[in-house]
Amino acid sequence: MIASEEQWISAAARLFQEADYAVAFTGAGMSTASGIPDFRSPGTGKWENADPREVASLTGFRNRPEEFYEWVRPLAQQMFAAAPNPGHRALAALERGGFLTTLITQNIDQLHRRAGSKEMLEIHGNIGTASCPSCDCTYASNQFRDDLLQEEMALPTCTRCGCILKLDIILFGEMLPEKTMCNAQKAVLSCDLMLVAGSSLQVFPAADLPAMAHRNGASLIIINHEETHLDNVTRIVLRADVAKALPAIVDRLPTRQSIHDETLK
Ligand code: ZN
Amino acid found at 167:
L
Question: What pLDDT does residue 48 have?
Answer: 57
What is the rounded average pLDDT for all residues in the chain? 90
155 C-alpha to center of ligand 1: Å? 13
128 C-alpha to center of ligand 1: Å? 18
Question: What pLDDT does residue 89 have?
Answer: 98
Higher local confidence (pLDDT), 146 or 101: 101
Q: How far apart are CA 1 and CA 49, in angstroms?
A: 47
248 C-alpha to center of ligand 1: Å? 47
Q: Tell me the DSSP string of 236-247.
A: EEE-S-HHHHHH
Q: Tell me the DSSP string of 148-186.
A: HH-SS----B-TTT-PBPEEEEPPBT-PPPHHHHHHHHH
Confidence of residue 46 (pLDDT cuts 50, 70, 90): very low
In 3D, which of 185, 200, 196, 244 has the Cα closest to residue 222?
196
Confidence of residue 244 (pLDDT cuts 50, 70, 90): very high
88 is catalytic: no
What is the β-pairing status of strands 193-197 and 102-105?
unpaired
| pLDDT higher than threshold 90 for residue 61 | yes
79 C-alpha to center of ligand 1: Å? 25
* 3-class secondary structure, 138: strand
Question: What pLDDT does residue 204 have?
Answer: 84
Lowest mean pLDDT among 73-82, 160-169, 178-187: 73-82
Could you count the other beta carbons within 10 Å of the beta carbon of residue 243? 22
Amino acid found at 179:
K
Q: Which of 112, 124, 229, 260 is catalytic?
A: 124
Instruction: Find the mean pLDDT for residues 56-73.
Output: 92
Q: How far apart are CA 48 and CA 60, in angstroms?
A: 17
Burial tier of 116 (Cβ tally within 10 Å: 0-12, 13-18, 19+): middle
165 C-alpha to center of ligand 1: Å? 8
Tens digit of each residue's pLDDT (9 = 90 or more) over 191-237: 999 999 999 998 888 899 999 999 999 999 999 999 999 999 999 99
**For residue 208, which phi and psi values (nearest 5 degrees)?**
-75, -20
Sheet holding 166-169, edge to edge: 138-140, 125-131, 166-169
193 C-alpha to center of ligand 1: Å? 43
Amino acid found at 103:
L
Q: How far apart are CA 141 and CA 86, in angstroms?
A: 25
168 C-alpha to center of ligand 1: Å? 14
| pLDDT higher than threshold 50 for residue 45 | no
Q: What is the pTM of this model?
A: 0.91
Could you count the other beta carbons within 10 Å of the beta carbon of residue 82? 17
Instruction: Find the mean pLDDT for residues 92-117.
Output: 97
Burial tier of 220 (Cβ tally within 10 Å: 0-12, 13-18, 19+): buried
Q: Which residues contact 199 (CB under 8 A, 6 or more apart)?
A: 25, 26, 27, 28, 29, 30, 106, 207, 224, 228
